[in-house]
Structure 1
Amino acid sequence: MNGVQRCKRSHQLATPRAETETAAGAGPVNDTTFPDLVLASPVPVLVDFWAPWCGPCRMIGPIIDELALEYGDKLRAFKLNTDESPGVATEYGIRSIPTVMIFKDGQKMDTVIGAVPKTTLVQTIEKYIN
C-alpha cells in the first residue's frame, strides 16, 4: 500500500512541473485567436502546425518550447493543433506536419516542413529577428 501511495504522490508532484514548463514555452493558438496572437504581433512569431497523433510533431515540440524560452521577448511562439483548428491550416496550405511558419508584421515570411534539427529553425528565425 505504501508503494502505491508513493507512486501517486510522485505523479502528483511531477504533473505541475510539466505544466509549468509547457506554459513557459510555446503557447496554444487556434482559428479564433490566430489573428490577434500571430498576425497582430509586434514581434516575429513562430507557429508550429502539429497534431497529437503525429510522431515527428512530438519530436519537434520540445524544441519549439526551448526556442520560445531562448528568444524571450524577441520572438513569440505558438502551437496550432491542425485537427482542432483546420481553418488556419487550410488558409496557409498546410499539407504535411510538422510545419513551422515564421510570421512578421502580419505576413508569412518563411516555412520549414518536417522534424528538422534545432539549428535549422534557429537559422530561419535569425533572418527575421531585428
Structure 2
Amino acid sequence: MPAATAISPSPGPSAARRPTYPLHRAASSLSPSCFNPPQPRRPPTGGAVAASAGRRVACCKAADHVGDVEEQTWDEVVLGCETAVLVAFWAPWCGPCRLMHPIIADLAKAYAGRLRCLRVNTDENQEVASRYGIRSIPTILIFKDGERKETVIGAIADTALAATVDRFL
C-alpha cells in the first residue's frame, strides 16, 4: 500500500479576491481629518425667496407670518380666505417637516398680502388631515377660492415651492 500523504486544502479562487478594508489598519495610521464632523449646509442663494433665505434672523422674523390652523377654524381661515392659501401639514416629531418651516416662513414673508401661509399639526388635528387624504408628512396643499389646487408631498427646495405657488397667484 502506498504511503499516506498529507493533503492541505488549497485556498481556492475566493481567497485571492478577498477585499481589504482601509479601516483594518492601525488606528494611529488614520488621519484626524476622517473624524471631522460634517459642516452645516448653507441655505440656497437663488430663487424667489433668496433675499431672506440666506439670513437666519429673517427666518425667525418671518415665522410670525405663518399661522396655525385647527379643525374648528379650518373653514373660516382656509376655505373662506380671499387670497391663495398654503397649508403645511406637519408633526413635531417629523424631521423633514421641521426643514420646511423656514422655507414656508420665507415664502410667507416674500408673498405677504398675496399668499396666506398656515400650518396644521396632524397629531392634534386628525380630522382635517383625514378629510384631505394626508397619508405622509410634510404635505403642502395650496388653496385658491376655497378649492384645493395643488398638493406637494415631501420636503422640497424653496425655489420649487416658490414656482408652484407662483402658478396660483
* TM-score category (smaller protein): 0.7 to 0.9
C-alpha distance in 2 between matches for 1:104 and 1:47: 11
- C-alpha deviations, 1:34-87, integer Å up to 9, x for none? 111100000000000000000000000111111011100000000000001111
Q: Which has the higher helix share?
A: 1
Residue of structure 1 in register with 2:88 after alignment: 48
One-letter amino acid of the structure 1 residue matched with residue 118 of structure 2? F
Contact kept in structure 1, 2:62 and 2:109, CA below 8 Å: no
Off by >3 Å, runs of 4+ in structure 1: none
Q: How many residues align?
A: 112
Aligned-residue offset at 1:21 = 2.7
Q: Which residue, 82, 99, 121 being the options, matches 2:122?
A: 82
Q: Does 1:27 align with 2:72?
A: no
When Rg is computed on C-alpha atoms for both structures, the one with the higher figure is: 2
Aligned-residue offset at 1:22 = 6.0
Q: Which residue, 129, 137, 162 being the options, matches 1:97?
A: 137
**TM-score, normalisation: structure 1:** 0.82
Aligned-residue offset at 1:120 = 1.1
Higher RCO, 1 or 2 (CA under 8 Å, sep at least 6)?
1
One-letter amino acid of the structure 1 residue matched with residue 98 of structure 2? R
Provide structure 1 residue ranges, at least 5 long, that are not aligned to the other structure.
Answer: 1-16
Contact kept in structure 1, 2:89 and 2:137, CA below 8 Å: yes
Provide structure 2 residue ranges, at least 5 long, that are not aligned to the other structure.
Answer: 1-56
One-letter amino acid of the structure 1 residue matched with residue 130 of structure 2? T
Aligned partner of residue 72 in structure 1, secondary structure: coil
Q: Which residue, 72, 79, 95 being the options, matches 1:39?
A: 79
C-alpha distance in 1 between matches for 2:62 and 2:162: 20
Aligned-residue offset at 1:23 = 5.2
**TM-score, normalisation: structure 2:** 0.63
Contact kept in structure 1, 2:88 and 2:139, CA below 8 Å: yes
C-alpha distance in 2 between matches for 1:50 and 1:25: 17
What percentage of aligned pairs have identical amino acids? 49
One-letter amino acid of the structure 1 residue matched with residue 131 of structure 2? E
Q: Does 1:61 align with 2:61?
A: no
C-alpha distance in 1 between matches for 2:105 and 2:63: 9
Contact kept in structure 1, 2:68 and 2:118, CA below 8 Å: yes
* Two-structure CA RMSD over aligned residues (Å): 1.6
